Structure 1
């Protein structure tokens, strides 16, 4: 221990005097034997954050990273421009209607965190209900759930990026916070959720078992418990999920006007749900996982479920009052992303690759019209609507369009803008184009390319390519915001629709799961090759970006194609796939997506791509900037520590391998405004320096 600590302390001093040399990362003999295969693990010592040597190593790496970034001359101008572009007009998100009241989050940059607002819809005055900014951004609102008639509002908060939620309840009319304070209410490994009783006297909510005094919450075995307003937290009783699954995740589907409730119950993340409907005080199962249910909504008193069983783009079935399943809408073009009630009918959000749209249907599921939104370049956000009301509030944004809220009249088919964020610059001249890559198995991969007028393919444009590739999460058009700073200087942004997401439906997702995970990595590489083939850029000017599961994507590209990328920014990523499942809480939740290394075939496939185990000595790796958060509940910070150490010791390229650990921060969910802006500025500075972007 003393020798290791001395080495790390020496590295700390060295990094300050010679920024070109990274801090030392000693190796120690350790290994796992899996299915008879020995797997060396020389950086296992970095898994223990309580070890003083690890703490010193983190401090040394932070100092080295900060010194290296500070020496990049592009940083000052880029940071200033990013900060300018981030100061838009007030933004809004998460609209939700209940009893004629609209609830939403509102943030006025550079305010650290959004505040929670209510207003009578559509013309009432806005009233701030909750402002979490008293502690300078360390507290975030994690969710909110109005009671059926909008009398009460339950809302969750979490501290320091941990996502572990505490529920509170307030009286909407008076703004008074009630005495009810409910800790352990989900977050991180399993989503938060609340389902109100019809009489508004209580609700069911997601909860982890409260720990014994002095112990930490164990983020497994979540249940639904019932809370009566005014009752002590300890008296809450389990109403669903006892013994259901160690890795239970519950998505509660509410109908605020009627207090109907359903549960989409998942065994981990990435697989299909079982569907349960509340009957009185109990929840009855109406669909098993064979239905491949992914999303649902209450429409005129019946639960409408998007089922992907024998329908890779999705079909809609309804749960009748007696629990029988009734077909509603057969599979059509476009993958179902969302269902929302409207009048006597409903809306369906669909996608095909990067294209998103909304269709309206009447009560008999007859097609009425396509909602007249832009045909390309936008992604649909939240829809606030209620059965019986012919109007809906539709949120959307696009590559060059910040968030807009549109009032949609389902009777006339007209749209009216009721809220629009005013950006800090003119985005109207940004040019949006598409190219196409071909993956190893012949699958076509759409790539959206953004640039400024006059920036044409010359074979060497500094370019950033982004994607994600997992957990049913699509890459959809979203406002580029402060990234305009990159385009203004002649850079190019590219976004790839690779498998693992659901933008083309569940077959597209399944082809990027478990034993097929390598397809995701091949798809991304195909997108990069498409940028070379169309002469947008070359290997000396291409940077790649991803986070979380997208960080895993970055790790695979570093070890599988080190010569094809000049720079990599990987945020809160997973790199040791063999330890992720067994040595961190969120790992078991990810088995439906990644598979389990307990299975010999899955172990073999995972070992073949796991970034840490595929780092090769004396290899010319690209420049790398990794970031992680001290309190991350989704991906262990040691993932980034171990991969950074391995790359620093192995690389022969002399390119910087950097790690920035944010203290008192997490996975990025609920991060304060300053952190989000800082992450953008740091990433663009790193890319500009490494890719040769001209900075005025």
Structure 2
């Protein structure tokens, strides 16, 4: 649950009582069943809610409206729902300023005054005059159109900015003269999964798919194309650089190196593994293959003349930085060899910054381009440091530091002295000294040791009665490193525990850790999560009646699979924007690209059987008491289409055997998560926290 929350003046305590009495035969909105059967390797699979996949059908829209009304009616009965919303708004209302960055004659930075729907981009000139440069709050009436990205040319006098409407992955690119702030070209439309990379002042590269003929939100998109837009021309004249039938890849992008000498093409078929090609513009070469096939991940980092620097997991599961001569690209030399800690890198001011992760915690070393250590950077504490990037001529860089009980603070770092000073410290109503963040290691089902961070207010009793949110992700090589959230602050201030295990499938221990949670080993992820819950219960932090499971996207799958495997583990479950139909996830949008982690039902009979054995939609059983559940999705989610949540909700509402409610919370004018307005985020988290406490039996928040 990554979001933000509030603190009351004075202590706040929960008044507990026995769990509420519910009517077992709750009347849910009617969901019709239409016979539909698929066959996989001779085995028939019923799919009676297939009709809910059609997001354009009137029947689906009607069902959504009835579910929204049912959910709202239920949530309105929670006596402290508005109090929690007020707490969240109170703590959220502080000034948030991002790290500055230089482009052309200006220094730019993002700022949110507190409760603005979207952060505003400001700039300061050389005379110290500051002005609003881009205000996304003016893009739409309710703040649901967001700024999805910006890209300046080398001189800093031209830029593009991308916008997302209603949270959709389909973006528009708007071209602007940075000096005058005038829009100078027609808007580039129907762009998806794309950055923008300028080539001098002539134009820029971007990527997209052909617009689907069916539903824009759910139709499959699997052939990426790279285009070059020349300024002063129409989008219909944009040159196809690569892609289509002659070079079919699911994801592609072309970037230009900082020195403008190289074009870099990265292409992939899944979310793991890529091909890398580099075109030497100085010597007018074609794209030179650096890495072909999808067995490894290799990313261009920087170039110095003929020498290319790249970060790779080839022969290095924990990553290494290598260099090679563009005239002899098959010979790689280590600059920063692989170590026991997972490596990531950034560059700025003529240096390389090696960021290491051990047990999900960051350390940083400043190095020269030969890999020689300049210094190990002293960080403010044990937590997560990010940033340390900039242009070659910069004398100072910026980084942010945070952990679960330390609000994110921006530091200014001097490259020569190695000294850091606070640049921007947020004025959050939160006293870190009143809280504890501890790391423990527990044992999973197969004996694997798993780290977990447990966060709470000092003075709690380990009596098994503490409301606890267990949150994780477990997939796609994504690491959950410590980070502050005001939402979690409110949860802890109200007596709650927030626990995050770093389960397999993530990247906390490199490629081996990721692979240990993929395909036929995916159940390791669920076992790790279940073992985390059992640990917290065995040690007295909480008990099943006071535990909530939470996760989003792949984490939504984690919650859905866990609650169907172990419905007794927790009282409450929050599968958010989850991948919940594992037999059909690859049929929608770019879902087929997730096959590295999941495999598909078409791969083999063995893979089909394995997916079906844990697919949440296919493992809801009659006669089982499932946790009180709030399924969270959005009407514009074109990453994980809402049909996953709709079908899972219909199955649970039909088969739930006890009084625990099953709600489907559907956000309007929102997508998978990015770009939501502050009001939308606060609303969702107010519902989440209040629902959790209410279902655990709490009736009031007693001061």
Query: TM-score under structure 2 normalisation?
Result: 0.90
**Structure 1 position 335 matched with structure 2 position 346:** no
Pairwise CA distance, 1:375: 4.1
Once the two structures are superposed, residues 80-120 of structure 1 have per-residue CA deviations (whole angstroms, 9 ceiling, x without a partner) of: 11111111213326x65545754443322211112233346
Deviations 1:370-402 (A, max 9, x none): 2111341x2233343123434322233322233
Of 653, 658, 670, the residue aligned with 1:665 is 670
User: 2-side partners of 1:211 and 1:546: how far apart?
Assistant: 30
Report if the CA contact (8 A) 1:340-1:383 is conserved: yes
Secondary structure at the aligned position of 1:503 is classed as coil
1:534 alignment partner in structure 2: 539
1:284 aligns with 2:288: yes
Q: Give the corresponding residue for 1:447.
A: 452
Q: 1:554 to 1:517 in 2, by over 3 A?
A: same
Report how many residues are paired: 669
Q: For the residues of structure 1 that align with 2:566 and 2:485, how far apart are their CA atoms?
A: 27
Q: 1:466 to 1:212 in 2, by over 3 A?
A: closer
Is structure 2 residue 276 aligned with structure 1 residue 275? Answer: yes
What is the Cα deviation at residue 40 of structure 1?
A: 1.3
Q: Distance in 2 between matches of 1:628 and 1:341?
A: 38
State yes or no: 1:156 paired with 2:167: no
Q: Does 1:384 align with 2:389?
A: yes
Deviation (angstroms), 1:290: 6.2
Corresponding residue number in structure 1 for 2:374: 368
Change (3 A) 1:398 1:196: same
Who is 1:409 aligned against?
414
SS at match of 1:405: strand
Q: Distance in 2 between matches of 1:496 and 1:637?
A: 27
Pick from 27, 30, 45 the counterpart of residue 39 of structure 1.
45
State the match for 2:486 in structure 1: 481
Moved more, 439-448 or 343-352: 343-352
User: Is residue 359 from structure 1 mapped to residue 365 from structure 2 by the alignment?
Assistant: yes
User: 2: CA distance between counterparts of 1:461 and 1:112?
Assistant: 33
**1:349 — aligned with what?**
355
| Native 8 Å contact 2:347 2:388 kept in 1 | no
Aligned match of 1:109 in 111, 114, 119? 114
Alignment correspondent of 2:226: 224
RMSD: 2.5
Q: Does 1:140 align with 2:141?
A: no
Distance 1:299 1:246, change over 3 A: closer
- Residue 572 (structure 1) shift: 0.8
Distance 1:397 1:149, change over 3 A: farther
- Does residue 129 (structure 1) correspond to residue 133 (structure 2)? The answer is yes
Q: Which residue of 1 aligns with 2:12?
A: none
The residue number in structure 1 matching 2:398 is 393
Alpha carbons of 1:519 and 1:62: their partners in 2 closer, same or farther (altered >3 Å)?
same
Cα deviation, residue 258, structure 1: 4.2
- The separation in 1 between residues aligned to 2:328 and 2:682, in whole angstroms, is 49
Counterpart of 2:29 (choices 23, 30, 53) is 23
Matched, 1:572 2:572: no
Q: Structure 1's 284 and 405: CA in aligned 2 closer, same or farther, altered over 3 A? A: farther
* Change in 2 beyond 3 A, CA 1:510/1:215: closer
In structure 1, C-alpha distance between the alignment counterparts of 2:546 and 2:556, rounded to whole Å:
20
In 2, the alpha carbon distance for the partners of 1:587 and 1:105 equals 32
In the other structure, the counterpart of 2:595 is 591
Q: 8 Å contact 1:193–1:250 — kept in the other structure?
A: no
Equivalent residue number for residue 333 of structure 2: 326
Contact 2:104 2:156 in 1 (8 A): yes
Contact 2:551 2:575 in 1 (8 A): yes
The Cα of 1:32 is off from its aligned counterpart by: 0.9
Cα distance in structure 2, aligned partners of 1:462 and 1:129: 44
Match of 2:463, SS state, is coil
Bigger shift: residues 386-395 or 598-607: 386-395
- 1:308 pairs with 2:309: no
Cα distance between partner residues in 1 of 2:232 and 2:324: 34
Q: 1:129, CA displacement in angstroms?
A: 2.0
Question: Any stretches of 5+ residues in structure 2 without a counterpart?
Answer: 1-22
